[in-house]
Every structure is written in structure tokens, then in C-alpha cells.
Chains A and B, each alone.
Chain A
Amino acid sequence: MDKYTKTNGKVLPMNRANIDTDQIIPAKYLKRVERTGFGQYLFDAWRKMPDGTLNPDFILNDKRYEGATILVAGANFGSGSSREHAPWALNDYGFRTILAPSFADIFRSNCFQNGMLPIALDQKIIDKIIKKSLANPNYSLTVDLESSVISDSDELTIEFSIDNFKKHCLLEGLDDIGLTMSEEFMIKNYESRHVIT
């Protein structure tokens, strides 16, 4: 897994709550057996008009936000299905950092599994970032995982909270499975006393 240390990038504001994984990537695109190539279907239904042309009103199609790497959205981001294709699509498109007031549990866990950083921030701070980004499409943020601080070039500096273990895994780019396999003795021991009917 790629390490995540520090990033500086343009913000894409999506001022909407409860963005579910069916919006992030519709089910009809989940048929691939690879982990890659899902970025082209990111927010497919919102990005395209029924005739397949690009929807000019959807912010992802707004040229001024091209190259954004930090997605900022409303509460309960990633609700619904457990499809890891959702973080794969975001990552593949270029969003490795997502800021929202809250995240759905499975989505958040899936992000960490892919070296992505979902950060929960106070609704007021999210509102402020969205406002700044809407006013200035070139608005960017620096996310420093080591110090757990998000800042902009202006006055904004916020410390965010993140589970220490998850932070450690991201910083080191650790393989979760390898880590569990190193507990072989404990797993064997457990299996010797655990009965499954």
C-alpha cells in the first residue's frame, strides 16, 4: 500500500449530505474483476445526462475544479453498500483525501484499506471550506497526517483526530494482512480452544 504522509491539493466541494455508494459508483459498473479502472465511472449518473453527454451543472465537470484531489462533502458520506469499488473509483479519479462531517462505517474502513484518508470535521468547518472553495475554485488545502493538521494559505489551521493505529498504517503504508499473519501463534492458540458448530 502507498504511504500517505502529506498532501497539498485543490478542493472539490460537494455540498450534499448522505452521498451513497450507489452515487459514487452505480452497481452496473461493479462487474470488473480488477481493482483499477473505476475512476471513469465515478459519480456516473450525476456526471452524465440521460443521453450520455456531460452534465454541465455537475461540479465534477466544471473545468475550474479540474485536478482537484481533496473531496469535501456533506454528512454521512459513503452510506449504503459495502462496495470497495467506491473508494477505488475515488482514488482512481484522483481523490485520496475526503473531508466530511461524518462517514458511513464500512466506507471509512474501506478507505483506510486503500491508503486513503477520510477525515471527519465539524460541520461548521466543512461549511467554511465549501464556501471558500465555491468562491475560489483554485482554493487548496494542505493535509499533514504526521501532525494531523489541515491548513490553507490563509488563516485556516485545524487539528483533526484520527485513530493512532490507522495513522501509523497510513504513514508506513502497512499491509494489514501481513500484520495479522504475524499473530499466527495467537490465532492457532485461539483456534485450538474455539469450537464452531
Chain B
Amino acid sequence: MGKTLFEKIWNEHVVVQDPEKPSLIYIDLHLIHEVTSPQAFSALRATNRKVRKPELTIATVDHNVPTKDRHLPIADQISRTQIEYLDRNVKEFGITYYGMNSAGQGIVHVIGPEQGYTQPGKTIVCGDSHTSTHGAFGALAFGIGTSEVEHVLATQCLRQSKPKTMEIRVDGKLPIGVTAKDIILGVIGQIGVDGAVGHVIEYTGEAIRSLSMEGRMTVCNMSIEAGGRAGMIAPDQVTFEYLKGKPHCPKGRNFDKAVEKWQQYKSDPDAEYDKVVIVDATKLAPFVTWGTNPGMVAKITDVVPAPGSFELKSQQLASQKALDYMHLDPGTPITDISLDRVFIGSCTNSRIEDLRAAAQVVKGYKVNENINAIVVPGSFKVKEKAEKEGLDRIFKESGFEWREAGCSMCLGMNPDFLTPGERCASTSNRNFEGRQGPGGLTHLVSPQMAAAAAIEGTFVDIRNWTFK
């Protein structure tokens, strides 16, 4: 029987296989940031251990950093301490670092690919659940906790039980106005927030193949929201074109040799998955989440569902709780939901294409007077590129704030957060209670949908938008 993409990468990375224990697998790339690494470094010091392969770890600051007034000291003392601790750790242990004022700084899952560290066939880990993003390149990439961060720093290995495999095949052509974000929201709506627990997802099918690298990253990014251990897409010409010329990718003849190797990273035709899910792309629409987890989604043309419409008692209870928290009544058309804030950013949707798509929508329009809207580019490089293309001007002219790179309002660890009761259209990945700030109400959407909502003040169907 043939092997899946996942199995090929897994097998190549097994250092020790032992019937009594989970396998020891080798990690090719370790990404770290300020929030989940400090305790790992402290433990290394306490046990007098070294970083085994400092050259395979890359560090940046993203979760905590302010997105404006970077020339000033960070006002939040505890945030500052955490960032300064990383500054010290990378220096002492000899780790490549994209610090707060470096030209390479950005959200860890944005800079890995843009610097060319993320490559097909690699095992990639990071103390962050959205590490699944890197799977878009045909890498095996997954989130880990701080103890495992310490483990990788000390040994460059991890002990892992082999996950199961799951194919999510998205057949057919994506309708106009329906994006990668809508694919993944649709998938999570279909399989649920625990639909992929214990599994590594491989996304296949015509609709996935037709996506750009950025779209593929959006899809893989939210694999964790379906409970997936990782999400991946076999590399193809789109992948290789994206990687060509990236600073840390092989160059010239070495690049051609690398491509030759990368081409083998695909599932064999006769490979079997433990589970297969089929999604019809032609039936997808722009989605908006109405509840408190990413599986609670509705089409833009739908209404907020009634708890009684769910089959299981547990779902009925959960949706009632979600509606109470979200201050929404069943039967309310999604397009009647009015908003206070709009956030375009996060490791899900802050790359150049996301910003281009959003800018195209807002061009020539003004942000609704009731809305406060911000754009937070995923990295310094994304910001620079967007400014070169004049996107910043389009956003600013229409009334958006244009910020520095970071995780920002996705999780509100820095000064960007919702206040209680504020309702936000967000391009991020989690609409959990209080995720964007205590009492904040989050609706997840694509960048285009968020941009249009900023103009209208309510959700609108992007498929009917008049572009200027």
C-alpha cells in the first residue's frame, strides 16, 4: 500500500522507534516567541542543559508587542519583562532573532514562510497551536507546549505518538467572493471543533489546488480549530514559485535539486487515510461565525440559528450559552448584526494578499462612523510591501488605522483589545469567549468580508459588493 504525505515525512524523521514507547522524531525547524519560551529557557539553566542545535531555532516577538509607538518603551511592565527575557535568552544561547525593531520581525507563522525557513518535507514545531500554518508547504508542522519547547531546545527531538491521518477533499471550483477562509470555516462547521482530534489533516482537491500559498496557509492555519494535530497540503508548482528566491531557501542549482526532492512529498495514489471528508466547494458561501467557537458558523445569507434547531441536547445547550454570551437572538439575519470594531490581521489573514483583497474592497469608501477599524500587517516585510503598493494609503484614506506587525487583537495580549460588549468583525481564528478581550464579542470572517463590514457597519454579502 502507498504512503500518505504525512507518513513519508514522519518516516523520514524517526530517530528511534521502540514498541514500548512513542517514537522519537527529529525536528528540522523550531520557532519560538516570547510567551511560551521563557519557562523553557529557565529550565535549561536550572538543569545546566544547552541548546543542542541553536541554528535550527528561530525567534521573534509577536504576541505581546505594541502595534504603535514602537519608539517608546513598552508601557506594560510585565510584557516588557517577557520581551527582554527573550532578548537575553537568544543572546546567551546563540539563536537567530527577529527582535521588535528588526526588519524581519512579525508573527512567527508569517515570517517562517516569508524568510524561506518553512520548506516542504520539514518537521516544524512552535509553542503555538497555529503552527499548523506551515503545513501549507507540505511540512509536518504542529503546536507544542512549553515543556516540549524545552525538550526540542535541549535535544532537537520530540517523543510523539503517531497521529492518524485524515483527508479533507474540497472538490469543485470555489465561487467568486468565497475565499480560503470560507473553505476552512465551512470545513469546521461541517466536522466540528473536535472533528479532527488525533489526526493530521491533508487537504486535497481542486479548490485547494487552485489556492495561492497565502490561501493555503489560511486553510492550514485553522486546522487546530477543528482539533487537528496538523494540517498539510502537498507542495506543487505554486509552492516552489513562492519559495524561489526567499532568503533562507536554497539558491540556483541547489534550489532545483531541492525542488526535485520536494516533488516526492505527495500522497501515493493508493495511499489510504484513516478518515476521509468530502466538501463541495461549489456549495460554500462567505461565512460568519455567530457563536463562541469556530464551528458555530452561518452563511452570510442565513440567520442566527435557534438552539432548538440542533440535533443533540449538548449542542442545544452550547448554542444557547453562546447566544447569551454573544447577545444575539435566534432568527436575526446575519446581515442585521451591527459592529463596533473591525480587525484585519493575525496569523490567519495578515499576509500581503489578504491586505490587497481588503484594500480592494475599501478603496473609494469611508469606514462607517460607528466603527473603529485597524489593519495589522503580519510582518514588517508585509507592511513594507503593502506601503510600496500604496495599500496603507487606501486604508488610511478610508479611515482604517495602519499599525505595526504583531498578533495584536487576535488575543489582546498587547494594548489592542475589545472592551466588554464590543462587537468585532475579525479575520483572526478564534471567537472564544473573551478571546479578543474580556466580554468582547467576536465574529470570524474573511478579509474581504471584514473590510466590507467596516464600510457598512453591519455584515454584508461581499458577492454583491460594488468595487470602486
Contact surface of A with B, Cβ cutoff 8 Å: 16-18, 20, 22-23, 26-28, 30-35, 45, 50, 74-76, 79-84, 87, 102, 104-106, 109-110, 113-114, 163-165, 176-177, 179-181, 183, 186-187, 190-191, 194, 196-197
Contact = CB atoms under 8 A, between A and B. Distances in A.
Contact of A187 (B28, B56, B155, B224): B155
A53 to B, nearest CB: 14
B434 to A, nearest CB: 5
B279 interface: no
Contacts of A81: 128-129, 411, 430
A34 B35 CA distance: 11
A123 B161 CA distance: 24
Interface in B23-78: 24, 26, 28-29, 35-36, 38-39, 42, 47, 49, 56, 63-64, 76, 78
A194 B26 contact: yes
Nearest to A77: B194
Nearest to B321: A16
Contacts of A87: 145
B154 A177 contact: yes
Contact of B430 (A22, A35, A84, A190): A22
B190 interface: no
Contacts of B128: 81-82
Nearest to A165: B21
Given A45-B438, A183-B24, A102 B194 contact: yes
A102 B147 contact: no
B420 interface: yes
Given A31-B82, A186-B16, 14 more contacts: A18-B293, A20-B430, A27-B412, A33-B42, A45-B439, A75-B194, A80-B224, A81-B129, A82-B127, A82-B131, A105-B163, A105-B229, A187-B24, A196-B28
Contacts of A191: 26, 156
Interface in B137-158: 143-148, 150-151, 154-157
B20 interface: yes
A196 B147 contact: no
B22 interface: yes
A142 B412 CA distance: 40
Contacts of B198: 105
21 contacts: A16-B318, A20-B430, A27-B435, A28-B413, A30-B63, A50-B420, A50-B438, A75-B194, A76-B227, A80-B224, A82-B131, A82-B144, A83-B145, A84-B39, A104-B197, A105-B227, A110-B148, A113-B145, A164-B20, A176-B147, A187-B26
Max count, chain A CB within 10 A of own CB: residue among B21, B22, B143, B145? B145
Interface in B417-431: 417, 420, 430
Most buried by B among A177, A181, A186: A177
A30 B145 contact: no
Contacts of A179: 159
Given A84-B146, A106-B145, A164-B20, A176 B15 contact: no
Nearest to B195: A76
Contacts of A31: 35, 64, 76, 78-79, 81-82, 413
B195 to A, nearest CB: 10
B348 interface: no
B413 to A, nearest CB: 5
Given A18-B293, A45-B433, A176-B151, A79 B193 contact: yes
B122 interface: yes
B318 A76 contact: no
Contacts of B47: 177
B433 A186 contact: no
B24 A197 contact: no
A84 B154 contact: no
A18 B143 contact: no
B258 interface: yes
A88 B28 CA distance: 28
Contact of B147 (A18, A84, A181): A84
Contacts of A187: 15, 24, 26, 155-157
A180 B81 contact: no
Contacts of B81: 31, 33
A18 B318 contact: yes
Contacts of B433: 22-23, 45
